Amino acid sequence: MSTMAPAHTISSDHSHAEVHFAIAGYWDLAGMKQFLFDLGEAAKPFMRAGTPFCVLGDFSGFVPQDRETSNAIRDSIAAGARNGLKRFAVLSASPLVQMQYRRIAQDTEVEYFDTFAEATAWLRRR
């Protein structure tokens, strides 16, 4: 059963310079800003070291967000790109979420995948 309650996990894979997260539900702006701050904290070691990094986001439970929240996501992706984000793999996103991400991540190399193995293989192909 799916839920609209916001939920997330965040981890880092330092051996591959990757940040992984899973996100689900419908977010208000304040909650999304806190999530994006936490995501930035996970990427901070790469940014401080000047190491290019990649992100893998599992969107299997995520739904399209309102304009204000999606703009915050867009701004975060743009800031990541200015600070070393090279690739962003989106895993298991619904077609509507994919459409929203195509709009907000236009200046970043983003690809969409159905499996974790496909997503990580693409991230690690440099």
Place of tokens 């995520």: 62
Q: Hey, how many other C-beta atoms are within 10 angstroms of the C-beta on 76?
A: 19
Contact 99, 62 (CB under 8 A): no
Q: How far is it, in rounded angstroms, from Cα 67 to Cα 120? A: 29
pLDDT recorded at residue 106: 81
Q: How far apart are the first and last CA of the chain?
A: 38
pLDDT recorded at residue 101: 87
Q: How far is it, in rounded angstroms, from Cα 43 to Cα 88? A: 13
3-state secondary structure of 81: helix
Domain parsing of the chain, residue ranges: 7-124
pTM of the predicted model as reported, rounded to 2 decimal places: 0.92
| Residue type at position 70 | S
- Structure token pair of residue 112: 């969409």
| Residue type at position 102 | R
Q: How far is it, in rounded angstroms, from Cα 118 to Cα 69? A: 28
- Structure token pair of residue 49: 């070291």
Mean pLDDT of the chain: 94
Bridge partners for 23 per DSSP: 8
pLDDT recorded at residue 41: 98
- Structure token pair of residue 82: 């200015």
pLDDT recorded at residue 1: 41
The confidence band for 2, taking pLDDT boundaries of 50, 70 and 90, is low
CATH code given to domain 7-124: 3.30.750.24
pLDDT tens column, 15-71:
999 999 999 999 999 999 999 999 999 999 999 999 999 999 999 999 999 999 999
**pLDDT over 90 percentage in the chain:** 88
